[in-house]
Amino acid sequence: MNPKNIKRAIVIGAASGLLVISTTVALISLLPLYSRIKQQEEQNLLFQAEKNAIALNTIFQQAKEQGLQFAQNPQIIPIFNASDETLQGSNNLESIRTTLEKDLNQFRVGILYINSQNQNKIEVGKAIPPEVLNLLNTSSTSSQIKLFWIDQDFYFTVANPVIASTKIATNITLFRLPKLENLTDCTQFSRACHTILGIRQPQKTESFFPLDKREYKSNHLLLEDESIKIAIEKAIQGETGALWCKQCDYFIGYSPVPSINGSFIVATGKIQLYSSIYQQFLTVAGTIVILIGLGTLGIVLILRPLTNKMQTEIFERQKAEIALRKEKDFNQTLFHANPAFLIVLDPEGKIKLMNDAMLSALGYTLEEVRGTDYLATFVPRKDKDSLPWVFELMIHRRLPIRTEEKVLTKNGKEIIVEWYGRAVFNSETDEYEHFLGAGLDITERKQVEEELQLLQRITKAVSVASDFDSAIDVALHLVCETTGWEFGEAWVPNPEQTYLEYSSVGYGNTANATAFRQESHSLRFALNEGLPGRVWFSQKPEWIPDISREAEIQFPRSSIANQYEFRAGFGVPILANNQVLAVLIFLMSIPKNEDKRLVELISSVATQLGAVFQRKQAEAKYRNIFKNAVEGIFQMNLEGEYTSVNPALAKILGYDSPENLIQNQANLQAIYLDDKQYFKLIQRLNEQAEVCNFESQVYRRDGRLIWILQNVRAIYSPRGKRVIFYEGSVIDITNLKKTEAKLRYSASHDALTDLWNRAFFMQKLRQSIQSIHEQPDHTFSVLFLDLDGFKLINDSLGHAMGDLLLIEISKRLKNCIRGGDILSRLGGDEFTILLENISDLSETKEIASRVLKALNKPFTLQGHQVFIGTSIGIVQATSDYHFPPEILRDADTAMYRAKQQGKGCAVIFDAAMRTDTLRRLQIQTDLRWAIEREEFQLYYQPIIELSTRKIAGFEALLRWDHPKEGFISPTEFIPVAEETGLIVPIGEWVLREACLQLHQWKEKFVNHSSLVMSVNLSSQQFTTDLSQRIDKILQETQVLGRELKLEITETAIMTDPQLAIATLNELKQREIMICIDDFGTGYCSLGYLHQFPVDILKIDRSFVNQMSVEDKREIVRVIVALAKSLKMDVIAEGIELMDQYLQLKDLKCKYGQGYYFSKPLHRHEAEEWLVGTRKVS
C-alpha cells in the first residue's frame, strides 16, 4: 500500500472516526434537551386548556345564577297567572319592563319571558334569534345553555323555567362575550392551534362549538375523530389531560367546564407543536452531511458555531422557563382573584391553599387556615358523616364530584357552598397528592328556592281552600312554620270599611298565644290606628323590631304584648284591585331587626293570597254572570248541538230550563226559518273564526217566530290547528226589529202631523234636482209656507192648542195638493210642497191659491174659533240649481217678500230678491263691526215750545257713516238691526252717548239747565231689566231721570201690555218722561192708554203733513184734546210749513219739531243754537 494511500486512509479514518464520534456525542447530548422541551410544550398546552376552562366555567356559572334570579323574580309570577287582556291593561307591566332594562349591561344584553304557549310576554334588550329559540326545549324544567355566533361576537343563552305551582313560563337571558378570542386564544403555540367547546347533550350525544372562528382544513377530521369524544367524556368526569388524535395527527388538551356539562379543548398539530425541535435536528443533520464533505477541519469549524447555536437555544429555553414562572405567578394571581371559592387539601384533609374570595367569605386569613383540618374547622358536626362517600368517589373511583355542603364561617354562621372537585394524582407514582375544589356560595339561591317552594305550597293550598278565611288560615300556618314567626293573626275590614276587626283564624305555637288572642278579639282598629290600621292605610308592610320600645299610640296592644312576651312584630296587607282585603300580623318572642328578604317573602305570600281571592271572586262573578245574564250564552259542538246554555237562552227559545233545552233541541239548524242562514253562519265561522251581529229569524218552542242577534266565535285546540267547539251569545231583538220599522217610518215623517219631514223632503228635492239635469224637459216647483199669526195663537191659547192647529192645517193642505206631490212640515210653523211635472207656472199658482183659500177659513179648536193665514214663497226650478239648500233659500226669500207685502199672499221668486237679500246680508255683516269701529254718529233735532219758539230739548237721531258707502239711511239699516237683535247693543250705545252729550251741554250752557234729551227705544229693548240698564247709564253719565225722555212706539207697548205697565211704572219712579211715538198709527187701546204712566203723545208726521185735509186735521185736534184730558203734553213731528206750525199752535199743541224749525244737527251745529248764534227760523 502506498504510504500516501495509507496516510490518506489514516487521515480519512481519523476524520471519519472523529466525525462519527463528534456526531454521536452531539446527538446524545441533545436527547435530554429534546425530551425536556417536548414535555414542556405539552405541559404548556395542557395548562392553557385548564386555565381557559376555569375562566369559561366561571362565566357560564355566573350567567346561570343570574338567569335563575330572573326566573325566580316574584313579580313575574302574577304576570303569567294573569290573562293576556289583564296583562295588556296592567300598569305594573311597564314598571317590570323598566326594572328589567336597568339590569342590562355589556355582558347581559337581553331578557325574554315566554309563556307555556311559546308566546312572548315580556322582552327587553337585544332580541334572541328565532333559530336559537327553536333549539330550546321550553317544556324543560331544568336550565339550558345554547351557544352561537352573531356576526363577530360570541353569544349564549341561559334558559330557566318560571315556576308557580307548575311551570308557567320560561325565562331566557342573552349574554355576549365580545372578547372571546382574548380569553381562548392559543396562537402562542402555533397559528394552526384551535379551541373547541364540547358539550354532552341530554340525548347522550356530543356537539362541538369551535371558538376561534377560523376555518382550517383538518377540522372535520378533528371533530369526527373518536379521540375528541373520549376527551369530552373524560372532561365531563372531571379530568384534565391530553391525548393524541391518530387520524388527524393532533395533540389534544382538555379540561372540564362543569357548568355546561362539557369540556374546553385545545388542539394543535404535532408538526406545529414540535416545529422548533425539528428545526434544530434538521440543522444538525445538514451540518453532519456538510462535515462529511469538508473534513475534520470543516467539522471542527462548523461544530463550534453549531455548539454556540445550541447554547443560544438553551438560553432561550431558560427565558421560556422564566416566562413560565411568570405565567404561574399570573395563575396564582388568577387563583386569588377568582370570585369563586378555590381550595387545595393535602391527602390528610389539611388546607394547603385557599383563595381570597373564600377567605373573605369565611372571615379568615390564609395564615389562620393553612394546615388546619378542613372537616373539623369548617363542616358542621351534623354534616360530617355524609362526606366519606364523596372522598370515596374522588380517591378510589377517581371521579370528579359535585356536591352541596354547609360551611361554617368564623362567626359561626352557616353558608351553603356548591363544590366542584377532583383528586389530583402523581403522574409517575400514581399516588394521591391533593384535592382541588372550586365552589360557589349558593346560600341566597337556596333561600330563593326554599321561598319559591313555600310560595308554591301556599299557592296550592289556598287555591283549594273553600273560602277566604280558610285560605288565610293556611297561609298563616305555613308562613309561621316556615319562617320562624311564633304567632300569626288576621284583621279584616268591616262591611262599611270603617274599622278592622279580629278574624277567627290564626296561628300560635306558644303557651301565651290563646290568651293573647282572647284579649285581642274585642279590639277594633280605625284607619291609620295601630300596626294593623297603619298597614291598612299605607297598603305597605311595616316591621317593628321591638314592641317594648314602641309607644302605646304606635302599638296600642304593647302592654298585653309585653305581658305575653311578644317582642318583634310585622304587618302586611292582602290586596286585590288596590283594596285591602285583610291585614296579616306576625309576632315573635325575641326582638328582631327588619329582614328585607323575609319582608319580600311574606309580601309575596300576601300577593298570592290577594291574587287567589281575586281569581275566586272572578270565577264566582263569571258563574253569576253566566247564570243571571240577560242575553243568552251558549257552547255548541261541531254538530250544531248545544252543550251548555244559560237560563236566558232557554227563556229566549221558550224552554223552562237550560237542561230542558239541551235535552229537547236536536240540532240548531232546525230552529232557523231559513236553514241557509245556519250554513252561512258556520261558513263565516270557518273563514273568520268569529262572527258578530249575525241576525236571523228562528222558531221558539211554541212555534212563534222571533228575531235573534248572535255573536259566535270558534274555539281552537291548544295548538290552534282545529276547531273543537263554538261559543257565543244570543239576544232577542224582535222588539228591536219592530222599533226599527217604526224608526224608519219616523225617520221620514213628522211626529205631530204625520206629514213627510224635512229629511225626506230634502232627499226628494235632491232627486228632483238630479232629474232636471238629466232630463231637460223635467219641471218642478217648490212652495215654502210660513203661517201668519201662529205665534200669537200658540202663546195665548197654549202649545197644546198650537199643536192641534198644526194637525188641522196639515189636513187642509193635503186636500189642496195632487196625488204625487210631496207635502212636508219643515219645522215649527213652516211647510213645504214639492210639485213635480208642472205643465206651467199657472198650475203652481193655482195650487198656491187653493192653499191660501183653505187656510183663510176659520178653525174651530175645542170651542175656540181662530183665524190663521200663510205667506207663500214660490220657486220655479231650473237647471241653475244644483243643491236643495239653494232652492229653499230662494223660496224663503220669496216668502219673506210675501210677508212684507202684507201677508196672506204668494210671491214668486226672481233674481232681484236675491240681490236685495244679499244687500241685507251685507248690511247685517257691516252692522256687527259698526259699533266697534265707531261708525255710528248721533244727530240732534231741536224740539221747540210752539208758544214761545224756545228750545225745550233735542231728539237724538242715529246716523251710520259707512266707511265705503257713506251715510246709510236709518230706514235701511234699522229694520235689519231689529231683525238680527243688533238693535239692543246699538240702542244702548245711543242712550249712553245721548245722555253723555246732554251732561256736557248742561255743564257748558248753564242757561239751558231745563234741556231734555229724547231717545227712541226699540221694542226689543223693552225687557224686564230695562230699568236696571237705564239706571246704570244715568249713573255713568250723571244725568237725572227728569232730564231724559224715552220715546216708545204703540207696537212696543202693546206687545206685552202687562210688562209695559210694570216697566213704565219703574221708569216713572225714576222721574223719566215717557212719550208714545207715532201715536195714532198703532193699535193702542184707549183703556190701556189710561193705565199707562205716559207723559207725552207724539203725533205721527203722516197726520201733520195732511193737516190741510179736514179729517186729518180733526184727528190731530182729537189727539191734542185727548192728551189734555189725560193731562199729557203733545209733540207734533214733521212740521215743514208755516201753516202747519200756525194750525198746531192754534190747537194748543205744546211742542213741535221738523224741518220748518231745523233739520237734525251735528253736535257742533246744535251748540251754535244753544249759544244763540243760530235762531229758530
Distance between CA atoms of residues 343 and 355, nearest Å: 7
The per-residue pLDDT for range 116-152, each reduced to its tens digit, is 777 767 888 888 888 888 777 777 777 888 888 777 7
Topology of domain 338-441, per CATH? Answer: Beta-Lactamase (3.30.450)
| pLDDT given at position 781 | 95
**Rounded Cα distance, 712 and 633, in Å:** 10
DSSP output for 443-478: HHHHHHHHHHHHHHHHHHHHHT-SSHHHHHHHHHHH
CB 555 within 8 A of CB 569: yes
| The listed CATH number (3.90.1530.10, 3.40.50.720, 3.30.470.10, 3.30.70.270) that belongs to domain 749-909 | 3.30.70.270
The Cα 556–Cα 541 span in angstroms is 18
Instruction: Please give the grid coordinates belonging to residue 303.
Output: 461544530
Sheet of strand 568-576: strand arrangement: 524-526, 499-508, 487-493, 579-588, 568-576, 542-544
Question: Residue 727 is inside which H or E element, if any?
Answer: strand 723-732
Calculate helix-pair angle for 841-856, 799-814, nearest 10 degrees.
Answer: 140
| CA-to-CA dists, residue 1113 to 904, 1110, 1118, 1120, angstroms | 33, 5, 9, 11
Half-sphere exposure of 36 (CA within 13 A, CB side): 11
* 1102, three cell numbers: 203722516
Question: Taking residues 934-959, what's their average pLDDT?
Answer: 94
Distance of alpha carbon 254 from alpha carbon 265, whole angstroms: 4
300 sits in which H/E element: helix 296-337
pLDDT in tens, 680-702: 988 898 888 899 999 999 999 88
* Integer Cα distance of 540 and 571 in angstroms: 8
Mean local confidence (pLDDT), 295-316: 58
- The answer to which of 39-53, 183-197, 367-381, 727-741 has the lowest mean pLDDT is 183-197
**What is the spatial distance between Cα 316 and Cα 626, in angstroms, rounded to a whole number?**
90
Phi, psi of 838, deg, nearest 5: -80, 130
Rounding to the nearest 10 degrees, give the CA dihedral for residues 879, 884, 885, 886: 10
Q: What is the dihedral of CA 226, 231, 232, 235, to 10 degrees?
A: 160
Q: Are strands 1073-1079 and 1096-1099 parallel, antiparallel or unpaired?
A: parallel
Contacts 24+ apart (CB under 8 A), 131-135: 132/157, 133/172
Q: Which of 153-162, 229-238, 1066-1075 has the least mean pLDDT?
A: 229-238
Residue type for 509, please? N
Per-residue confidence (pLDDT) for residue 180, from 0 to 100: 67
Residue 73 has pLDDT above 50, yes or no: yes
Superfamily of domain 923-1171: EAL domain (3.20.20.450)
pLDDT at 1063 exceeding the cut of 80: yes
Average pLDDT over residues 749-758: 92
Output the nine-digit C-alpha cell for 724. Answer: 273543537
Q: Identify any residues that bridge with 712 across adjacent strands, giving them in sequence order.
A: 691, 728
Q: Cell numbers at residue 973, please?
A: 239699516
Question: Tell me: the pLDDT tens digits for 903-915?
Answer: 889 999 988 887 8
Instruction: Name the more confident of 200 and 994.
Output: 994
394 in Cβ contact with 435 (< 8 Å)? yes
User: Between the CA of residue 923 and those of 900, 920, 953, 975, what are the distances in Å?
Assistant: 18, 5, 32, 10
The CA distance from 399 to 435, in Å, is: 12
Residue 2 scores a pLDDT above 60: no
Q: Work out the pLDDT band at 3, boundaries 50, 70, 90.
A: very low
For the cut 50, the answer to whether the pLDDT of residue 211 exceeds it is yes
The crossing angle, in degrees rounded to 10, of helices 3-71 and 296-337 is 10
If you average pLDDT over residues 611-629, what whole number do you get? 78
Q: What's residue 1104's pLDDT?
A: 92
Q: Please report, for residues 2, 488, 568, 571, 846, the alpha-carbon distance to residue 602 in angstroms, rounded to integers and kept in the order given.
A: 115, 12, 15, 9, 95
966 Cβ partners below 8 Å, 6+ apart?
none
Task: Classify the C-alpha dihedral 1033-1037-1043-1047 as positive or negative.
Answer: negative
- Mean pLDDT is lowest, of 28-32, 421-425, 447-451, 836-840, for 28-32
φ and ψ at residue 684, rounded to 5 degrees: -65, -35
Q: Would you tell me how many other CB atoms lie within 10 Å of the CB of residue 775?
A: 9
Instruction: Say whether pLDDT at 964 is over 50.
Output: yes
- CA 975, 976, 977, 978 torsion-angle sign: positive
Question: What mean pLDDT is predicted for residues 1000-1015?
Answer: 92
> Which triple of cell numbers denotes residue 537?
292605610
Residue 218: per-residue pLDDT: 45
User: Where in the chain are the domains?
Assistant: 72-177, 338-441, 447-624, 629-739, 749-909, 923-1171
User: What b-and-e string marks burial along 333-349, b requiring 16 or more CB atoms within 10 Å of the CB?
Assistant: eebbebebbbbbbeeee
**Is 750's pLDDT higher than 60?**
yes
| Most confident region among 61-70, 394-403, 461-470, 818-827 by mean pLDDT | 818-827
Q: Give the three-class secondary structure for 1090.
A: helix
* pTM, full prediction: 0.38
Q: Which residue has the higher pLDDT, 178 or 375?
A: 375
* CA 96 vs CA 113, 123, 173, 692, 966: distances in Å: 12, 10, 15, 36, 75
Q: Specify the pairing of strand 499-508 against strand 524-526.
A: antiparallel
- Inform me whether the pLDDT recorded for 4 exceeds 50: no
Is 923-1171 the same fold as 338-441?
A: no
d(CA 798, CA 802): 6
Q: How confident is the model at residue 166 (pLDDT cuts 50, 70, 90)?
A: low
Write the class of the CATH domain 447-624: alpha beta
Closest CA to 402 of 410, 412, 411, 394: 394
CA 903 vs CA 482, 898, 899: distances in Å: 99, 6, 4
Q: Which CATH superfamily includes the segment(s) 72-177?
A: PAS domain (3.30.450.20)
CA-to-CA separations, 577 to 82, 466, 607, 616, in angstroms, rounded: 13, 21, 11, 13
pLDDT at 906: 93
CA angle 286, 287, 291 (to 5 degrees): 120
What letter would DSSP give residue 1039? Answer: -
Percent of all residues in the chain with a pLDDT value above 70, rounded to a whole number? 84
Query: Cα dist. 70→93, 146, 260, 595 in Å?
Result: 15, 17, 19, 21
- Give the class (CATH, top level) of 629-739: alpha beta
Question: Which of 79-88, 488-497, 606-615, 830-839 is predicted with the least confidence, judged by mean pLDDT?
Answer: 79-88
| Gap between the Cα atoms of 1011 and 1167, Å rounded | 12
Task: Round to whole Å and give the CA distance between 245 and 224.
Answer: 10
Cα–Cα–Cα angle for 1131, 1133, 1139, rounded to 5 degrees: 100
Q: Of 996, 1006, 1097, 1101, which Cα lies nearest the Cα of 1053?
A: 1097
Q: Is the pLDDT of residue 230 over 50?
A: yes
Strand order in the sheet with 262-269: 206-210, 194-200, 262-269, 250-257, 241-245
996 Cβ contact list (under 8 Å, min separation 6): 1037
> What integer pLDDT is reported at residue 311 of this predicted model?
59
Q: Please list the residues that pair with 161 across neighbouring strands.
A: 170
**pLDDT for the residue numbered 201:** 67
Taking the C-alpha atoms of residue 466 and residue 1043, their distance in angstroms, rounded to an integer, is 93
C-alpha 931/C-alpha 935 separation (Å) is 6
